[in-house]
Amino acid sequence: MLKTFKIGGVHPAENKISAGKPIKDLPIPNEVKIMVSQHIGAPSKALVKKGDEVKVGQLIAQSAGFVSTNIHSPVSGKVVKIDQITDTSGFKKEAIIIETNGDEWDESIDRSDALIHETTLDGKAIVEKISSAGIVGLGGATFPTHVKLLPPPGAKADVLIINGVECEPYLSADHRLMLEKGDEILIGTRLLMKALNVDKAYIGIENNKPDAIENLTQKALRHQGISVVPLKVKYPQGGEKQLIKAITGREVPSGALPINVGAVVNNVGTAFAVYEAVMKNKPLIERIVSVTGKTIKEPSNYRVRIGTPVNNLLEAAGGIPENAGKIISGGPMMGKAVTSTDIPVTKGTSGILIMDEKESHRKEIENCIRCGRCVSACPMGLEPFLMMPLVENNDWERCEKEMITDCIECGSCSFTCPANRPLLDYIRFGKASVTKIIRTRKEK
Partner 1 sequence: MSATLIYTVITISAIGAASAVILYFVARKFFVFEDPRIEEVENELPSANCGGCGFAGCHAFAEAIVTSGNLEGKYCPVGGSNVMAKVAGVMKLEALEQTPRVAVLRCNGTCEFRPKTTNYEGAKTCAIAAMNFSGETGCQFGCLGFADCVNVCQFDALHMNPSTGLPEVDDDKCTACGACVKACPKFLFELRKKAPKNRKIYVACRNTEKGAVAKKSCEVACIGCGKCEKECAYEAITIENNLAFIDSDKCKLCRKCVAVCPTNSIIETNFPPRKEKITENASTEKVDA
With 0-12 / 13-18 / 19 or more C-beta atoms within 10 angstroms meaning exposed / middle / buried, residue 109 is: middle
Q: According to the binding rule CB under 8 A, does residue 339 interact with partner 1?
A: yes
Residues 404-423: x where in contact with partner 1 by CB under 8 A, - otherwise, as a string: ------------------x-
- Tell me the DSSP string of 193-258: HHHHT-S-EEEEEETT-HHHHHHHHHHHTTSTTEEEEEE---BTTTSHHHHHHHHH---PPTT--G
Task: For residues 380 and 253, give the distance between their C-alpha atoms in angstroms, rounded to a whole number.
Answer: 10
Cβ proximity to partner 1: between 228 and 333 the closer is: 333
Nearest Cα to 235, choosing from 267, 206, 268, 212?
A: 206
Give the footprint of partner 1 on residues 46-85 (CB under 8 A).
84
Q: According to the binding rule CB under 8 A, does residue 435 interact with partner 1?
A: no
Give the footprint of partner 1 on residues 276-335 (CB under 8 A).
none
- Binding residue for partner 1, selected from 3, 55, 200, 428, defined by CB under 8 A: 428
Coil/strand/helix, residue 170: coil
Residues 6 or more apart whose Cβ sits within 8 Å of residue 382: 375, 402, 403, 404, 406, 407
Cβ proximity to partner 1: between 84 and 224 the closer is: 84
Q: How large is the greatest C-alpha to C-alpha distance in the chain, in angstroms?
A: 64
Cβ proximity to partner 1: between 111 and 361 the closer is: 361
Structure-derived torsion over alpha carbons of residues 246, 165, 413, 38, reported in degrees to the nearest 10: 120
- Binding residue for partner 1, selected from 30, 89, 218, 224, defined by CB under 8 A: 89
Cβ proximity to partner 1: between 53 and 83 the closer is: 83
Cβ proximity to partner 1: between 113 and 364 the closer is: 364
Task: For residues 355 and 325, give the distance between their C-alpha atoms in angstroms, rounded to a whole number.
Answer: 6
How many CB atoms within 10 Å of residue 400?
17
Q: According to the binding rule CB under 8 A, does residue 389 interact with partner 1?
A: no
Cβ proximity to partner 1: between 81 and 111 the closer is: 81
Residues 167-206: x where in contact with partner 1 by CB under 8 A, - otherwise, as a string: ----------------------------------------
Cβ proximity to partner 1: between 110 and 342 the closer is: 342
Element (H, E) at 292: strand 286-292
**Angle at the Cα of 270 from the Cα atoms of 251 and 5, rounded to 5 degrees:** 25
How many amino acids of this chain bind partner 1 (CB under 8 A)? 18
Give the footprint of partner 1 on residues 355-384 (CB under 8 A).
361-362
Q: According to the binding rule CB under 8 A, does residue 27 interact with partner 1?
A: no
Q: Which residues bind partner 1 (CB under 8 A)?
A: 84, 86, 89-92, 336-337, 339-340, 361-362, 422, 425-426, 428-429, 432
